[in-house]
Amino acid sequence: MQLSWKDIPTVPTSNDMLDIVLNRTQRKTPTVIRPGFKISRIRAFYMRKVKFTAEGFGEKFTDIIGGFPNINDVHPFHRDLMDTLYEKNHYKVSLAAVSKAKTLIEQVSRDYNRLLKFGQSLYQCKQLKRAALGRMATITKKLKDPLVYLEQVRQHLGRLPSIDPNTRTLVICGYPNVGKSSFLRCITKADVEVQPYAFTTKSLYVGHFDYKYLRFQAIDTPGILDRPTEEMNNIEMQSIYAIAHLRSCVLYFMDLSEQCGFSIEAQVKLFHSIKPLFANKSVMVIMNKSDIIKVEDLDTNSQELLKSLTTLPGVEVMHTSCHEEDNVMQVRNHACEKLLTARIEQKLKGTARVNNVLNKIHVARPQARDDVDRSAFIPDAVKDLEKFDINDPNRRKLARDIESENGGAGVFNINLKDKYLLEDDDWKNDIMPEILDGKNVYDFLDPDIAAKLQALEDEEERLDAEGFYDSDSDLEGDDEEIQDIKEKAKWIRDKQKTMILEGRNRKSLKNKSIMPRDKIKKSFNQMEEHMYNIGHETETLREKSGQAKFKKELSGVDILKKNQGIQSSKIAKRTAQANQTDRLNDGVSDGAMRSQAERLAKIQRRERNRQARQGEGDRHSTAMLPKHLFSGKRGIGSTDRR
């Protein structure tokens, strides 16, 4: 729940409000209508103005309505406080007036928009708009008084102390001038005005202090006079509300010296008259100004009166002196303690909270299934066991006895194998092989192994008889032909391998330059050698080689050229022709035309160059980030994926 209202937006006066909204309309909407405008456009122009103004008013009014607290929603203490301070009805009526104005303005806007839709001329539309804004202005001007009132309320609300009705609170009350404010000054850092006349404090003041690491608030109230509540003024009513609504410890201050101007009798009477407000609260009566006069020094009549104070259950009386700061802290601490215990008691009293915890606790008590007795099982051996007695010579022999017999702790080592349960006790200390020929012996250990082995032997015999183990004896005596074939095949395989290797070596370019094939010269001898190795007859070759030297056969174009009379040397020298055309002179018949074309191109470029514009020769990328150039992962190493 909201406790302080410091951030309510300011409420402008009705005239200011008008200025603000109309100014905004003027600024935010188009202002000029030109001669050529169509009527539909003119209508839209004015409709927009009217709508915009209405919206402006609406926004302002919603801000105001939303900013102020709804008097029915706040804590009763605040509600009563606001009622006394601002007059509840007045407050409500003012806010209602604002709200009403809002709906009225909306209605006006709606009506005139409907009329504007059918406006026939510029003039008509303009007059309609004027009428609409005029009516809105009138409505706003009628709000003059509520707005002024609300602004005042806003300012006062913002200055109200932020009192939390639900925290630990001490409320200081009493007749005027009995020393309430000076007590607050003593126990908190609050800078409250203290003056030697009645009604110095005219409103509630709050001070904060810590006790036992808990935050407390102490509320100083204006003085109360002993009269019926109807006759009380606003200042007194504030204290009454504080006492009535806050769950607190009430400190009723009394001045025994009567320096405040009120007799002890009057003060006691006031206490009794406001007693009904103390229900469900812890109350303390503080006798202030104990430096001037003590209770003992009073006459019997007054003492009797004071005793009547304690008739109310739970009321405690303490003495203090704010002037000498005597007993102040004790009073404060006592009050705090009292408040804390009271609050805890109140919490425990609430049945809902206790029930909440009780609901969560559940103790399960299982039902008996049947009448069968299921007692614990104790073996007979244990039952019959004799009680061990160390003084008995025939007592059981324990492991520790054995240990002490064999040299005591550290020397004796327990033989765990003694506990083995085997068929024959002689076997206890046997050592069993765990691994045999790379096999785990324990895997083979099986009570029926003899039978299984026998079965295996039988199977073996059967297989032997069937001839399972008769090898086909591959010694079929390979005859010579087969041997020959094998040898030949082996040779071929080897040869193929070496040939492949040689070929690879020939081709592999290990930092060597390559001689073009047609430039390699091979002698006749080499060829002859090669042919011989392959298995050809070389005789005929040798015979032919002599004749071939002088006969050089021509082929293809060379024959034609020879016929035309071109020298053979030229034919031989001709290299591979570059298969490119001269692009500079393509499409131009001669040099004169070439130069003319160049001139034309220059003139074309001149204007573009003068303007420093981009030409076709400029570097140009079609897109800012051509995908095919910039995409691709960058692995380790190369940044160039292409």
Partner 1 sequence: MRVYQCHFCSAPVYPLHGIMFVRNDAKEFRFCRSKCHKSFKQRRNPRKLRWTKAFRKAAGKELVVDSTLTFAARRNVPVRYNRDLVATTLKAMSRIEEIRQKRERAFYKNRMRGNKDKDLAYDRKLIEQHPELLRMREVELRRKAERLAAKENAMEEEEEITSDDMMSEDEDMESESEAEQVKQKVLLKNKRKTRA
Q: Please, which residue, 20 or 541, has the CB nearer to partner 1?
A: 541
For residues 142 and 147, give the distance between their C-alpha atoms in angstroms, rounded to a whole number: 10
Alpha helices in 310-411 (DSSP H): 328-349, 351-360, 380-383, 399-405
Count residues near partner 1 (CB under 8 A).
57
Q: Please, which residue, 330 or 440, has the CB nearer to partner 1?
A: 440
174 close to 253: Cβ distance less than 8 angstroms:
yes
* 228, 276, 516, 535: residue in contact with partner 1 (rule CB under 8 A): 535
Residue 296 interacts with partner 1 (CB under 8 A): yes or no: no
**Nearest-approach distance from CB 575 to partner 1, in angstroms:** 22
**Nearest-approach distance from CB 501 to partner 1, in angstroms:** 15
Mark the segment that binds partner 1 (CB under 8 A) among 2-10, 179-187, 227-235, 490-498.
Answer: 490-498
Q: Please, which residue, 118 or 420, has the CB nearer to partner 1?
A: 420
- E-state strands within 58-204: 169-174
**Nearest-approach distance from CB 541 to partner 1, in angstroms:** 15
Q: CA–CA distance from 142 to each of 100, 134, 145 (Å)?
A: 11, 12, 8
For residues 587 and 52, give the distance between their C-alpha atoms in angstroms, rounded to a whole number: 72
Q: Which of residues 85-114 bind partner 1 (CB under 8 A)?
A: none
* 96, 214, 312, 449: residue in contact with partner 1 (rule CB under 8 A): 449
Taking residues 407 to 446 in sequence order and writing x for each that binds partner 1 by CB under 8 A, - otherwise, the string is -------------xxxxx--x--x-xxxxxxxxxxxxxxx
Report the amino acid identity of residue 598: E
Q: Please, which residue, 441 or 559, has the CB nearer to partner 1?
A: 441
Residue 500 interacts with partner 1 (CB under 8 A): yes or no: no
Q: Please, which residue, 145 or 494, has the CB nearer to partner 1?
A: 494
Q: Is the dihedral of CA 36, 40, 43, 49 positive or negative?
A: negative
For residues 334 and 346, give the distance between their C-alpha atoms in angstroms, rounded to a whole number: 18
Q: Please, which residue, 312 or 451, has the CB nearer to partner 1?
A: 451
**Nearest-approach distance from CB 479 to partner 1, in angstroms:** 12
Residue 520 interacts with partner 1 (CB under 8 A): yes or no: yes
Mark the segment that binds partner 1 (CB under 8 A) among 10-18, 50-58, 489-497, 559-567.
Answer: 489-497
Query: At 373, phi and psi to the nearest 5?
Result: -90, 120
Mark the segment that binds partner 1 (CB under 8 A) among 142-150, 173-181, 500-508, 514-522.
Answer: 514-522
β pairing state of 435-436 and 439-440: antiparallel
Q: Please, which residue, 479 or 607, has the CB nearer to partner 1?
A: 479
For residues 575 and 274, give the distance between their C-alpha atoms in angstroms, rounded to a whole number: 131
Residue 402 interacts with partner 1 (CB under 8 A): yes or no: no
Q: Which residues contact 379 (CB under 8 A, 6 or more apart)?
A: none
DSSP codes joined into one string, 533-585: HHT---HHHHHHHHHHTT-----THHHHHHHHT--HHHHHH--PPP----GGG
Which pair of structure tokens corresponds to residue 631?
């995409």
* 390, 515, 578, 623: residue in contact with partner 1 (rule CB under 8 A): 515
Q: Which residues contact 310 (CB under 8 A, 6 or more apart)?
A: 285, 317
* 1, 93, 329, 482: residue in contact with partner 1 (rule CB under 8 A): 482
State whether residue 116 is helix, strand or coil.
helix
The packing angle between helices 144-159 and 76-86, to 10°, is 130
Q: Please, which residue, 370 or 424, has the CB nearer to partner 1?
A: 424
Q: Please, which residue, 402 or 531, has the CB nearer to partner 1?
A: 531
Q: Please, which residue, 197 or 468, has the CB nearer to partner 1?
A: 468
What's the length of the chain?
A: 642
CB atoms within 10 A of CB 259: 15
Residue 505 interacts with partner 1 (CB under 8 A): yes or no: no
Q: Which of residues 455-474 bind partner 1 (CB under 8 A)?
A: 455-456, 459-460, 468-469, 471-472, 474
The packing angle between helices 39-67 and 14-28, to 10°, is 140
Q: Please, which residue, 465 or 612, has the CB nearer to partner 1?
A: 465
Residue 542 interacts with partner 1 (CB under 8 A): yes or no: no
Give the burial class of 212: count Cβ atoms within 10 A of its Cβ; 0-12 exposed, 13-18 middle, 19 or more buried. Answer: exposed
Which pair of structure tokens corresponds to residue 536?
């050809």
Residue 450 interacts with partner 1 (CB under 8 A): yes or no: yes
List contacts with partner 1 (CB under 8 A): 420-424, 427, 430, 432-447, 449-450, 452-453, 455-456, 459-460, 468-469, 471-472, 474, 482, 485-486, 488-489, 491-493, 495-496, 515, 520-521, 523, 525-526, 529, 532-535
